[in-house]
A = this chain, B = another copy of it.
Amino acid sequence: MTRRYNFCAGPAALPEAVLARARDELLDYQGRGLSVMEMSHRSDEFVAIAEEAEADFRELLGVPSNYKVLFLQGGASLQFAMLPMNLLGQGGRGNFIQTGIWGKKALNEAKRLGFDCHVAASSEPNGHTAVPAADALTISDDAAYLHYTANETIGGLEFDYTPQVQRNDGASVPLVCDMSSNILSGPRDVSQFGVIYAGAQKNIGPAGLTLVVVRDDLLGNAQPTIPSLFDYQLLAEAGSMVNTPPTYAWYLAGLVFKWLKADVGGLEAMDAINQRKAQKLYAAIDASDLYSNPIARHNRSRMNVPFVLEDARLDGAFLKEADEAGLLNLKGHRSVGGMRASLYNAVPEEAVDALIAFMADFEQRRG
C-alpha cells in the first residue's frame, strides 16, 4: 500500500489514522462480531457511537448548550432548500451575501422555492476576488436571516470577518453560515451564529453526511407542509433519527473528531497548522513567475488555493507530472479551470512541502 498526497476539493483526504482504524474494525467493531455498518441505528452500540461523536464535535467547536447539532443527509445543497423552508415559515426575507458559486446556489434555490430574497452585498463587481467590506452590507428591513458562505470552495475566497447582522430597527438578525469547506479548520465563536451547516466531505468525514448546528430559538418556525425530514425541530426531537441516518458516515466523522482532539490537539493547534500550510503555498505562488492567484491577500482561503499557470498550455503537463509525483487531484473546478490545491485538515504539511517542491521544479524545467 502506498498512500499519495490528495489535494481533492471534496470528497477529500481523510486522516490516515482514521482510515486505518476504520479498516481494523471494519468487520468486527470492538469484539461485537459485526461491522458498524451492520448495526441498528437504535442499538446501544450505535447510539453510544453517535452520542460520542456529537459530544466530541461540541467540545471541539465549543457549541453552546442552546444549540442542537443535527447529523443529516443530502449535503449542503439540500440545506439550501431546508433553510428557507425552516426559517421563513413565520414570514420575513432571507438576505444573502454573494461571494461566489456556492452562495449563488443557495440564493437560487431559495428563489426556486418561491421565496423573495434580498442580496445584502456581492463581490461580483470585483470578480469575487475580495469579500464585501463589513460596512457595505445592506440588510432589508424584513430580514429573517443573513446567509453567507464562509469559504467559497471553487473561488478560493474566505471571509476574514464575521458579518454584522442588525436591522435598521435594531433587531438582531440570525446569521446563517455555509461552513462546508472550512468548518473545524480553526476555532469559531458559535454564539455569533443562528445556523452553521456543512457537508461532511471536506473537514468532517465521507460524503453523505451533513452537519447542522442550529440555535434553539430558530426551531419550530418551519412551514407546516414541508417534508417531515426537512423540519429541524422534528429532526432535533428525534436526535437526527426520524429515519435511519447515515450510520457509517456518522461513525467516521466521530473518528475524525477524535483525531482532531487527540492527534492534532484541538482546533487552535489545527488552525496554526492550516495557517502555516496556506502561507507557504501562497508565498511560493507569489514568488514565482509561472503561478498566480487572483484573490485579495486578506481573503485568500486557507482551505482551497486556486492558481493558474502563466501559460495554460502547460496545464496538461503540470497535472500529469504532478500525478506521477504522487500529488493527486490538483485540477481546478470545471467551471473555472486552472489548478486548485485543497489543504483541508487531513492534508499533512509534508504534502504541501512536496507540492511546493514539485511546483518549483516544474517551473524551472518548463516555465
Contact = CB atoms under 8 A, between A and B. Distances in A.
Interface of A: 1-4, 6, 8-14, 16, 19-20, 22-23, 26-28, 31-35, 37-43, 73-78, 81, 109, 112-114, 199, 201, 206-209, 225-230, 242-249, 252, 326, 328-329, 334
Secondary structure class of chain A's binding surface, majority of residues: loop
Contact of A38 (B13, B20, B74): B13
A212 to B, nearest CB: 14
Given A13-B34, A14-B35, A34-B4, A329 B75 contact: no
26 contacts: A3-B27, A3-B28, A4-B33, A4-B34, A6-B38, A8-B39, A8-B40, A11-B38, A13-B38, A16-B27, A23-B26, A23-B27, A26-B26, A32-B328, A73-B78, A78-B243, A81-B228, A109-B228, A112-B228, A114-B225, A206-B247, A207-B245, A207-B247, A208-B209, A208-B246, A246-B249
A246 B326 CA distance: 26
Instruction: Report, nearest first, the 3 A-B pairs whose CB atoms are least far apart.
Output: A208-B246, A4-B33, A81-B227
Contacts of A26: 19, 22-23, 26
Contacts of A32: 4, 328
Contacts of A199: 244
B34 A244 contact: no
A201 B81 contact: no
A39 B247 CA distance: 20
Nearest to A73: B73
**How many chain copies does the complex carry?**
2
Contacts of A22: 26
B73 A208 contact: yes
A241 to B, nearest CB: 11
